[in-house]
Amino acid sequence: MAKRVAIVGTGQTFHKSHRPDVNGQELINEAVQRALADADLTMKDIDAILIGNMDHFEGINYVDCWSVDGCGGVMKPVIKITTGGTTGASLAIGGYHMVGSGMFEKVLIIGWEKNSESDTTGAITTAFDPIWDRQVFAGAISGLAAEAQAYMARFGASDRDGARVSVRDRKHAMNNPHAQLRKEVSLEDVLASPMLADPIHLLDVCPRSDGACAVIMASEDSAEKICPVPDWIWGTSAHNTYSYLGDGDWGRLTSMEQCAKEVFKKAGIKEPRKELDVIEMYQPYSFAGLIWIEDMGIVGHGEAPQFVWDGNTDMGGELPVNPSGGVIACNPIGATGLIRCAEAAMQVMGKAEGRQVPDVKFAVSTGFGGCMWTNMLLHGKRKPN
Amino acid sequence: MSEIFKGIEPMVHNSKISVPYSWWAGDTASKFFISLRDARKIIAPRCGKCGKVFMPPRKVCPTCFTENTDWVDVSDEGTVVSYSVSRRQLEAIPGDKKVPVIWGLIKLDGADTALLHYLDEVDPGSVTIGMRVKAVFAESRTGGIRDISHFKPVK
């Protein structure tokens, strides 16, 4: 009964810092309409819907029901998945499982957020243990700061190395009309921006955005009829690491390492640096652009700064990372992981317009969540064996 | 923004919802907190199978999946595994703490995992990974993790 699964359409809003002109359902609808148009399908063709966001951000806890007017879910099965930062990537993996099971032919997957409707740091703090970590700790940046400090101490990297990644992603965002922040910055701008939590400056981190993304997946029975060049999903992986911050292996992302091993094995990829053509990484801050490509196995431990300085991850380089501008340029959190998936799909389908990497055969997209968990999808142009 | 407003003033509705929570710490954490409060002693459960000593205390070993029944004494001194300095006075930072607030992941001698806590009595610029620190207990203790006020450098 297991079926091969492909992405046959994607749609996104033009993400902004706030969208007072639409409510949440209307925002969702913009992305859904664009995905349907991209695949040349109508809601009648859709068998089930997966939707997700961050519960606390809008204070609406039954989004699966509340959203039906906007998501098209009237009298259809609608399932909510919410897994913090990885929500969008978990939605994509859930959709892959539903279609791959053979029980649903075409599934519509939606990630969305209106970050402007609450206090993002306060809402994120509710993700941490109330008795322990939350008594000493606030928001998302502090955990990332611990990772960056440990990485710098272990491998001798500097804040300039981190800033180089931010300069790259913000430059790439200039090619993406959907990105919220489209302004080039210099290394000096990043290093001179206010310190939030040492060693992370304001321009090292992502913003908070209002936005939605929709992806349509179909099984091998219809994918090639819907779409001339579908984006085939070769493998998915998800790993969580711990409950308490003190259990982490700081300076390494072990969940990323494990996900990469699994998905590359499924596709027979032995040298990801050579065999991958593009990466859309859920990289909420600059230093992750160093640490996590090491854990992904692109380069060895401690080698990422030089690899990035040499331009290998820039557009036109050996392995471009985040042609969309990534999370540093745009972050509607419940949608962010699904945007990575959609952008990777667009690269494979040849629909990435001004941010297209030439001739993409394999692409990786990832999701990341605050307790250092990782989700990953491997996308390919060729139909899996 | 002008193109998305189309001349219509955007109405906004502010929430007045208040949902106060009460979180039960459970027997395992309570035993630890009572020891902190009444004896200023840091204790931790040890896995009978793999021998790992957990800080914060865990009722069940997350890898062996067996109940931790042994308790051991853990030192009030340890080593900084990582740290950061919060520079913004966020709402979520407790009101008695003023930025710059330094927090660290501290592996206490005798424990296998690190405890998240504040570092103080030290200049933010001189904190290092590997630094040795010691617990300072709060004068007034109520049975929570802040019965340890902070950790300070070992002289």
pLDDT in 10s for each residue of chain A, 385 residues: 699 999 999 999 999 999 999 999 999 999 999 999 999 999 999 999 999 999 889 999 899 999 999 999 999 999 999 999 999 999 999 999 999 999 999 999 999 999 999 988 888 888 888 999 888 876 778 889 999 999 999 999 999 999 999 999 999 999 999 999 999 999 999 999 999 999 999 999 999 999 999 999 999 999 999 999 999 999 999 999 888 888 989 999 999 999 999 999 999 999 999 999 999 999 999 999 999 999 999 999 999 999 999 999 999 999 999 999 999 999 999 999 999 999 999 999 999 999 999 999 999 999 999 889 999 999 999 999 8
Question: Could you tell me if A281 and A375 lie in one domain?
Answer: yes
Q: Which two tokens stand for residue A271?
A: 């040298």
Burial class (CB in 10 A: 0-12, 13-18, 19+), A74: exposed
Domain count, chain A: 2
β-partners of residue A285 are A205
Question: Could you tell me if A104 and A221 lie in one domain?
Answer: yes
Question: Could you tell me if A215 and A263 lie in one domain?
Answer: no
How many cross-chain Cβ pairs, A to B, lie less than 8 Å apart?
A: 114
Place of tokens 């972050």: A331
- The minimal CB distance from A244 to the residues B56, B107, B118 is found for B56
Per-residue model confidence as pLDDT tens digits over B101-137:
999 999 999 999 999 999 999 999 999 999 999 999 9
A354 vs B: CB within 8 A:
no
B12, A20 in Cβ contact below 8 A?
yes
A318, A312 in Cβ contact below 8 A?
yes
Q: Is A363 domain-assigned?
A: yes
Q: Which two tokens stand for residue A300?
A: 């060895």
Non-local (6+) Cβ contacts of B153 within 8 A are: B121, B122, B131, B132, B133, B134
Question: Could you tell me if A283 and A153 lie in one domain?
Answer: yes
Place of tokens 């906007």: A70
Question: Could you tell me if A258 and A286 lie in one domain?
Answer: yes
Which CA distances in Å does B38 have to A133, A135, B23, B41, B42?
Answer: 22, 20, 21, 8, 11
Question: Could you tell me if A43 and A136 lie in one domain?
Answer: no
Question: Could you tell me if A297 and A215 lie in one domain?
Answer: no
Question: Could you tell me if A269 and A181 lie in one domain?
Answer: yes
A61 vs B: CB within 8 A:
no
**SS3 of B30, please?**
helix
User: What is the domain extent for residue A237?
Assistant: 124-207+231-380
Among A226, A258, A280, give the residue marking a domain's end. Answer: A226
Please tell me the predicted confidence (pLDDT) of residue B1: 47
Query: Looking at chain A, which residue has its C-alpha nearest residue B2?
Result: A21
Question: Could you tell me if A303 and A240 lie in one domain?
Answer: yes
Question: Could you tell me if A309 and A331 lie in one domain?
Answer: yes
Q: Which ipTM value was assigned to this complex? A: 0.87
Per-residue model confidence as pLDDT tens digits over B73-107:
999 999 999 999 999 888 778 888 899 999 999 99
Question: Could you tell me if A200 and A221 lie in one domain?
Answer: no
A21 vs B: CB within 8 A:
yes
CB contact under 8 A, B62 and A243: yes
pTM: predicted TM-score of the whole model, two decimal places: 0.95
Q: CATH number, domain at A308?
A: 3.40.47.10
- The minimal CB distance from B82 to the residues A133, A135, A149 is found for A149
Which among A221, A193, A175 is positioned nearest to A316, based on CA atoms?
A: A175
Residues of chain B positioned with their CB less than 8 A from the CB of A122: 91-92
Query: Looking at chain B, which residue has its C-alpha nearest residue A150?
Result: B82
Q: What distance lies between CA A204 and its chain's CA centroid?
A: 17
Q: Is A385 domain-assigned?
A: no
HEC string of A32-99 equals HHHHHHHHCCCHHHCCEEEEECCHHHHCCCCHHHHCHHHHCCCCCCEEECCCHHHHHHHHHHHHHHHH
Complete DSSP assignment for B82-128: EEEEE-S--TTS-TT--SSEEEEEEEETT-SSPEEEEE-SS-GGG--
Question: Could you tell me if A263 and A361 lie in one domain?
Answer: yes
